[in-house]
Amino acid sequence: MNLKQIKMKILKGASYGAALFLGGCGTMGSGPKKFLDQQPKYDDAVVGNEERQLLKNLVRLRYCDNIASLDIASLNYSGSGCTSGSVNLGDGFLSDLSHIDKKIGASLAINPGSNPSVNLTPPSGGNYIKKYMTPIKFSAVSALVQGGWSVDRVFNLCVERVNDLYNATEADGPTPKKMPSYKPFQAFTSILDEADTNRLLEFGTKPGKNFSGMYLYLNEPKLNDRIRHASVEAMPYYNGLKARIRELKQLAGLSQDTSLFSLDEDFVSDMDPASLVIQCRSLLGVMFYLSQNVDVPQEHKDKGLVGVTLDAAGEEFDWSEVCKYFSVQCSKYRPKNAYVSCYYRGQWFYIADDDRDSKMTLMLVMQLCKLQSSDYQSNTPLLLLN
């Protein structure tokens, strides 16, 4: 075999090997399969981003700093998942075989098929007002209750007033100087939650009505045959439940002889013994309310970076009595047991992974964010069988 034939065989072999190794699409296990492998990471990143942003906004509000709101409008994942390669044999290769080790070079370029792009949109103008400033519709509140959330949690979070019962309305903005009124309201929602647990409570609308036609059906427990013939321990519970329902009606100024109450929102003209006038918070009010129970370093209080609420005795008020389902802790060092955390003003703020109540409330607020961003309407008929 002469020199020219040797050169041609080397050239052909090198080119074939490079093409086999470098060429083709999807040979590296990319494309659709790679996207499926990566999708859970994108899911975690999106959820984690929303939770951290919400937590950080609560911390910002505690310091009376402006919140930042960037919604993920779209997340695109593109790419062919191909590999490409080239073989450089060098100039003068055919004439100078002695330098073959210097003349042959290969380059490999891999496109793994992962070119994600995220579009972030800050709400502005009408969208901002709709999401943050518009009061939550009571139809959304009742939908959350019917969806399995406890009445006590949802009402304490979303409702700021029922008739003349006030739920810490001062907490809907920057930290107040004086402690709010909240105990009668919490007594009311506690009994309402007990009534719901015992299936004595229903929310709904009369057929053909809108939000203004919503009603609450609250009935006293009936002494049926099962309870009448039950053990003696059941009777005190039955009598106690009846007393609690009467107490609830008394707290809200409702008629003791009525079971069906209209739900209204006009405190001037609609207040009567057969109606519940309900005022809901805005989403921003909900966030301010929760921010009151964000723990902060004592030095930040001393420097006046955050507000401090005082009770009747002039001592610092404990906001955990109001925000009983939510708290945020702070630490100088990054916490190891955090479910979600953020770094702000030289401190780590976090919700502990074993703080189930706070995690549930965070989830509830995220659902409220989605509801406030949508055009949710509810027209659920109320069916009463007596």
**219-243 pLDDT, tens digit each:** 777 655 454 445 545 566 677 888 9
Contacts 24+ apart (CB under 8 A), 270-277: 271/163, 276/162, 276/163, 276/216, 276/252, 277/161, 277/162, 277/163
Is 18 domain-assigned? yes
Structure confidence at residue 335 (pLDDT): 95
Pairing verdict, β 275-280 and 83-88: unpaired
Residue 254 lies in a domain: yes
Domain end marker among 71, 86, 121: 121
Tell whether 175 and 279 lie within a shared domain: yes
Residue of 68, 60, 63, 58 whose CA lies nearest to 291:
58
28 is in which domain, residue-wise? 3-121
Torsion of CA 141, 143, 145, 148, to 10 degrees: -140
Assigned domain for 380 exists: no
Split into its structural domains, the chain has a count of: 2
End-of-domain residue from the set 78, 97, 121: 121
220 lies in the same domain as 286: yes
Residues 81 and 175 in one domain: no
pLDDT given for residue 37 in this prediction: 65
Please identify which residue in the block is written with the tokens 């203004």.
212
Instruction: Kindly compute the dihedral angle of the four CA atoms of residues 242, 246, 247, 249, in this order, to the nearest 10 degrees.
Output: 140
The pTM score is 0.74
Q: Note whether residue 139 is domain-resident.
A: yes
Q: What is the pLDDT of residue 98?
A: 42
Q: Does 114 lie in the same domain as 162?
A: no
| Among candidate residues 51, 86, 121, the one where a domain is terminated | 121
- Domain assignment present for residue 385? The answer is no
Q: Are residues 200 and 180 in the same domain?
A: yes
CA distance 7 to 129: 75
With contact defined as beta carbons under 8 Å apart, do 165 and 180 qualify? Answer: no
Answer yes or no: is 56 within a domain: yes
Give yes or no: residues 32 and 108 share one domain. yes
Give yes or no: residues 149 and 117 share one domain.
no
**Could you tell me if residue 382 is inside a domain?**
no
Co-location of 217 and 153 in the same domain: yes
The predicted structure's pLDDT at residue 20: 46
Q: What is the pLDDT along the chain (386 residues), one digit of tens a residue?
A: 565 665 565 555 555 554 444 444 544 445 566 656 666 676 677 777 889 999 999 999 999 999 877 666 666 666 554 444 444 444 444 444 444 444 444 443 444 455 666 666 666 666 777 788 899 988 889 889 988 999 999 999 999 999 999 999 999 999 999 999 999 999 999 999 999 988 888 887 765 444 457 888 887 776 554 544 455 455 666 778 889 999 999 999 999 998 888 888 777 666 788 888 999 999 999 999 999 999 999 999 999 999 999 999 999 999 999 999 999 999 999 999 999 999 999 999 999 999 999 999 999 999 998 888 776 554 443 333 32
Please check whether residues 253 and 283 belong to one and the same domain: yes
**Residue 161 within any structural domain of the chain:** yes
Question: Taking every pair of C-alpha atoms in the chain, what is the biggest distance, in angstroms?
Answer: 114
Residues 107 and 187 occupy one common structural domain: no
Q: Is the same domain home to 114 and 154?
A: no
- Check whether residue 148 and residue 288 sit in a common domain: yes
